[in-house]
Every structure is written in structure tokens, then in C-alpha cells.
């Protein structure tokens, strides 16, 4: 993971390309169309007619919204399809750029998954410490100090002062919370 240094500026355009703007544009436009189709199907179930003395049925508003969204996405799709030249043929992200994003996002998914099991405070401490050690190349004691500090302050703030309960795990239970 040595190539990942978030404190440095990277030139994504110069790196090995992964996804082009055109491919991403087409993909997102198709996702929009899919969403629009889902909404239309459910609006159809709810009914989008005018009910006497009741006003528009529950599906009325979403139905027309989805129709407009579908039309707009078709326009976007039509614009993205022709093969672009020059300035338009840009890459959206490069292989190293994607890896750098994964460096924060994949651990974030693990972190969110861990919250349900060991509570938010312990998992955030581990997440912060791990990121600082492996990606930021900080000395271990610094990483642990920051990680513990952030977790402890948020614990005081939410559990003690503002009395907002956050997910807690076995460690907090052992401490009596």
C-alpha cells in the first residue's frame, strides 16, 4: 500500500485509466432509468388516477416524477452514447486512483459492519488507528493516542453529556454502560 499517500497530490489523468467518463455516464443514466422503472411499477400498484373526493391517489406524484426522470435520463443517455473526441474522451478514474479510494472505503465498510458487533467506539478506534498506521505510516503510539482520544471524547460527548445512545458492544457493557 506504499503507493497510497493521501497527503500528496496525484494526477489522475496521467495514470493508467480504469473507467472513462463515457462509460460512467452511460452506466449512471441506465441506473436512473432502472430507478425510474421501479418507481413507475410501484406507482402503478398504488394507482395514479384521480379519486373523487380523495384527490390524487398515492401513486400520482411519484408516477409523474418517475416519468420526468425517465425522459431526462433518456436525454442524458442519448448525449453520452456517441463516441467522444478530444476533451470529452476523459478518464473518470485511474487504476491507482481507484485503489486509493478503496484504501478508505473498504475499511469503512468493515468498520460499519463491526459497529453492530463491538459497538461504535471500539470499532472507530480500530479504524482510525489502522488507517493511520497502514496508510498514513504514523508511529504506532501516535495512531493509538489519536484513535483512543477521538473515541473517548465522542463517548463523553454523546453518552455522558448529550445523552444520545450510540451502538455499544461488550467493552462498554463491561464498563457498566
Partner 1 sequence: MDELYALAGGFAVAFTWYNVALMILGITLGVVIGVLPGLGGANGVAILLPLTFSMEPTSAIIMLTSIYWGALFGGAITAILFNIPGEPWSVATTFDGHPMAQRGRADEALVAAFTSSFVGAIFAVALITFLAPVVAKFALRFGPAEFFAVQFLTFASFIGMGRGSPAKTLASMCLGFALACVGLDGVTGSLRMTFGHDELLNGFKFLVAVIGLFGIGEILTSMEDGLKFSGADAKLKMDAVIRTWRQLPKMFFTFLRSCIVGCWMGITPGGATPASFMGYGLAKRFSKNGNNFGKGELEGVVAPETAAHAAGTAALLPMLTLGIPGSPTAAVLLGGLLIWGLQPGPLLFVEQKDFVWGLIASMYLGNVVGLIMVLTCVPLFAAILRVPFSIIAPVIVVICAIGAYTVNNAMFDVWMMLVFGVMGYLFTKLGYPLPPLVLALVLGDQAESSFRQAMLVSQGDVTVFWSNWLSGSIMTLGVILAFWPLVSGLMARFGKSGRTASAA
Residues 76-115 binding partner 1 (CB under 8 A) are 76, 79, 92-93, 97-98, 100-101, 103-105, 107-109, 111-112, 115
Residue 28 binds partner 1 (CB under 8 A): yes
In the complex with partner 1, the residue whose CB is nearer, 116 or 173, is 116
CB of 174 to partner 1, least distance (A): 22
For residue 16, the SS3 value is: coil
Q: Hey, which residues between 31 and 60 contact partner 1 (CB under 8 A)?
A: 32, 35-36, 38-39, 42, 46, 50, 54-60
* DSSP element (H, E) containing 105: helix 95-134
Contacts of 149 (CB under 8 A, 6+ apart): none
Kindly tell me which residue out of 17, 20, 21, 30 binds partner 1, with binding defined by CB under 8 A. 21
Torsion, Cα 19 25 26 28, to 10 degrees, reads 100
Shortest approach of partner 1 to residue 172 CB, angstroms? 15
Grid cell, residue 66, equals: 418517475
SS3 assignment, position 148: helix
Closest approach, Cβ 135 to partner 1, in A, equals 6
**Minimum distance from residue 168 beta carbon to partner 1 (Å):** 12
Smallest gap from Cβ 26 to partner 1, in A, equals 10
Q: Pick out residues in 115-174 that bind partner 1 (CB under 8 A).
A: 115-116, 120, 124, 127-128, 131-132, 135-138, 146, 150, 154, 157-158, 162-167
Separation CA 45–CA 55 (nearest Å): 17
Cβ pair 71, 33 in contact under 8 A = no
Span between the terminal Cα atoms of the chain, in Å: 38
Amino acid at each position: 500500500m506504499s503507493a497510497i499517500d493521501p497527503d500528496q497530490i496525484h494526477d489522475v489523468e496521467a495514470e493508467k485509466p480504469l473507467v472513462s467518463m463515457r462509460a460512467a455516464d452511460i452506466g449512471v443514466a441506465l441506473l436512473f432509468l432502472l430507478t425510474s422503472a421501479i418507481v413507475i411499477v410501484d406507482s402503478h400498484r398504488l394507482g395514479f388516477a384521480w379519486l373523487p373526493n380523495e384527490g390524487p391517489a398515492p401513486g400520482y406524484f411519484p408516477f409523474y416524477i418517475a416519468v420526468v426522470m425517465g425522459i431526462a435520463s433518456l436525454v442524458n443517455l442519448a448525449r453520452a452514447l456517441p463516441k467522444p473526441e478530444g476533451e470529452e474522451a476523459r478518464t473518470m478514474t485511474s487504476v491507482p486512483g481507484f485503489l486509493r479510494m478503496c484504501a478508505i472505503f473498504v475499511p469503512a465498510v468493515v468498520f460499519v459492519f463491526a459497529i453492530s458487533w463491538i459497538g461504535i467506539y471500539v470499532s472507530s478506534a480500530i479504524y482510525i488507528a489502522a488507517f493511520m498506521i497502514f496508510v498514513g505510516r504514523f508511529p504506532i503510539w501516535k495512531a493509538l493516542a489519536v484513535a483512543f482520544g477521538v473515541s473517548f471524547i465522542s463517548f463523553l460527548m454523546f453518552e455522558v453529556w448529550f445523552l444520545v445512545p450510540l451502538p455499544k458492544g461488550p467493552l462498554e457493557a463491561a464498563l457498566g454502560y
